[in-house]
A and B are shown apart, each in its own frame.
Chain A
Amino acid sequence: NAGVMQNPRHLVRRRGQEARLRCSPMKGHSHVYWYRQLPEEGLKFMVYLQKENIIDESGMPKERFSAEFPKEGPSILRIQQVVRGDSAAYFCASSPQGGYGNQPQHFGDGTRLSIL
């Protein structure tokens, strides 16, 4: 499968636990974006990363949320001490180029996070 791979597809956590969401970009893509879709709301940008660099994190909540895209392995979106309001679908997208080329972004199937 050459598409954007996200796992897990569904994740259930209790309040106060940590959630880790993983994303492997499409083959040949080196730019990764994370978006969040709250119930009945639109897609909201969270963070844009290249390998080992955070390019734009203007959409990330100031606390509890972090993201990385290491030299080896998938991009990780980490949510510490989850609260009910974190329940949402988290989508990862990738593109071959970032801001310079404004290339289309292709989305993964998402991780549905539910907080008990």
Chain B
Amino acid sequence: QKEVEQNSGPLSVPEGAIASLNCTYSDRGSQSFFWYRQYSGKSPELIMSIYSNGDKEDGRFTAQLNKASQYVSLLIRDSQPSDSATYLCAVGPPYNQGGKLIFGQGTELSVKP
């Protein structure tokens, strides 16, 4: 079992729709969870961080965390063509066990005009 799993996609949604990206992780002790966006040939860009169960909203983005199910998701409302990118789920270590992030393989999102 991979430590962090994402559907590779591509996920295709029409402009204006809600895009839903999912991620599961294996280490129950993980304390921090991040979503990064990576355009082709570019570096990862942090878009959301979440540490507690529930929802966290920032503009058109909502991150959801369920530690019991070991599940993290990212919702993108009113999707735009400029949202087309690969979205990386990253999971931090258990508390006080260093700082390395474990990344999923990424989900490629395509927003069609």
Contact = CB atoms under 8 A, between A and B. Distances in A.
Interface of A: 31, 33, 35, 41-45, 48, 55-56, 58-59, 91, 95, 98-100, 102, 104-110
B44 A45 contact: no
Interface of B: 31-32, 34, 36, 42-46, 49, 51, 88, 90, 92-93, 95-106
24 contacts: A33-B99, A35-B101, A42-B103, A42-B104, A42-B106, A43-B101, A48-B99, A48-B100, A55-B98, A58-B100, A95-B99, A98-B99, A99-B95, A99-B97, A102-B92, A102-B93, A102-B99, A104-B34, A104-B49, A105-B34, A107-B45, A109-B42, A109-B43, A110-B43
B103 A55 contact: no
Given A102-B31, A102-B32, A107 B44 contact: yes
B88 A56 contact: no
Q: Is the interface of B mostly helix, strand, loop or mixed?
A: loop
A100 B30 CA distance: 12
Contacts of A33: 99-101
A33 B95 CA distance: 17
B103 A44 contact: yes
Contacts of B93: 99, 102
List the 9 closest A-B pairs by CB distance, nearest first.
A102-B32, A98-B99, A45-B100, A43-B103, A56-B98, A99-B98, A42-B105, A107-B43, A102-B92
A102 B98 CA distance: 8
Nearest to B88: A43
Contacts of B106: 42
Contacts of A43: 44, 88, 90, 101, 103
Nearest to B6: A42
Nearest to B93: A99
Contacts of B100: 33, 45, 48, 56, 58-59
Nearest to B4: A42
B43 to A, nearest CB: 5
Contacts of A99: 93, 95-99
